A and B are shown apart, each in its own frame.
Chain A
Amino acid sequence: EDQVTQSPEALRLQEGESSSLNCSYTVSGLRGLFWYRQDPGKGPEFLFTLYSAGEEKEKERLKATLTKKESFLHITAPKPEDSATYLCAVLRDSNYQLIWGAGTKLIIKP
């Protein structure tokens, strides 16, 4: 069964304390892995797409990496404004639907 699992469910960090969020997946025929950020009461906003193992993407304090079984979202020296829920989704080859993880709620304390 196709599945996406994100860990941890919640992560509390001090401002400047770097860490990583994990997204592990089991899906046949991966066609892409997507990271989104969701602020409370808003729709998810696109961050990155990764297509093949070894690929990396960066944006400000965020860097996403991909292996054959999982993806990591590394956050370096986070700021309070990085607090949000981070969602991971994978695209399988049989259709154009995304399979979503439950998300990691990130809280950065000043």
Chain B
Amino acid sequence: SQTIHQWPATLVQPVGSPLSLECTVEGTSNPNLYWYRQAAGRGLQLLFYSVGIGQISSEVPQNLSASRPQDRQFILSSKKLLLSDSGFYLCAWSVLRQGRLANYGYTFGSGTRLTVV
């Protein structure tokens, strides 16, 4: 069965410090991978998505970057955190079946609550 692991669950970091959040997927190959941010009481904002190793598309210009060093590993990074980077970060994956998004859409990790102080 497919599973997605995302860590850490919570993180408190000072302004100006670096960030690294990791997400790994098991039980599937060549998934599409996504990083989302969710502000309190708000919808999901797509930050990055990847359709393959080393292929990253950025949706929102910001202080963050993403990398995909392995097929099922997706990393969200920052060199210097800002207060505005605080939020709930979600990793997700999806697969295509015969050129069509699988009917369960995206599968999400459990999220990381980041607080920048």
Please report A residues at the B interface, Cβ cutoff 8 Å: 31-32, 34, 36, 41-46, 49, 87, 89, 91, 96-98, 100-103, 105
A31, A36, A46, A97: the one contacting B46 at CB < 8 Å is A97
A87 touches B105 (CB 8 A): no
Identify which of B13-21, B63-71, B76-84, B108-116 touches chain A: B108-116
A101 touches B111 (CB 8 A): no
B11 within 8 A of A: no
Q: Nearest chain A CB to B117's CB is how many angstroms away?
A: 19
A43 touches B101 (CB 8 A): no
B interface residue count range (under 10 / 10 to 19 / 20 to 34 / 35 or more): 20 to 34
Interface Cβ pair total, 8 Å cutoff:
52
| Consensus secondary structure, chain B interface | strand
A100 touches B113 (CB 8 A): no
A98 touches B43 (CB 8 A): no
B108 touches A44 (CB 8 A): yes
A91 touches B44 (CB 8 A): no
Could you say which residues of chain A place their CB within 8 Å of the CB of B46?
Answer: 97
In addition to A31-B100, A41-B113, A102-B42, 17 A-B residue pairs with Cβ atoms within 8 Å of each other are A32-B103, A32-B105, A36-B105, A41-B88, A42-B111, A43-B90, A43-B111, A44-B44, A46-B105, A87-B43, A89-B105, A91-B101, A96-B96, A97-B49, A98-B105, A101-B43, A103-B43
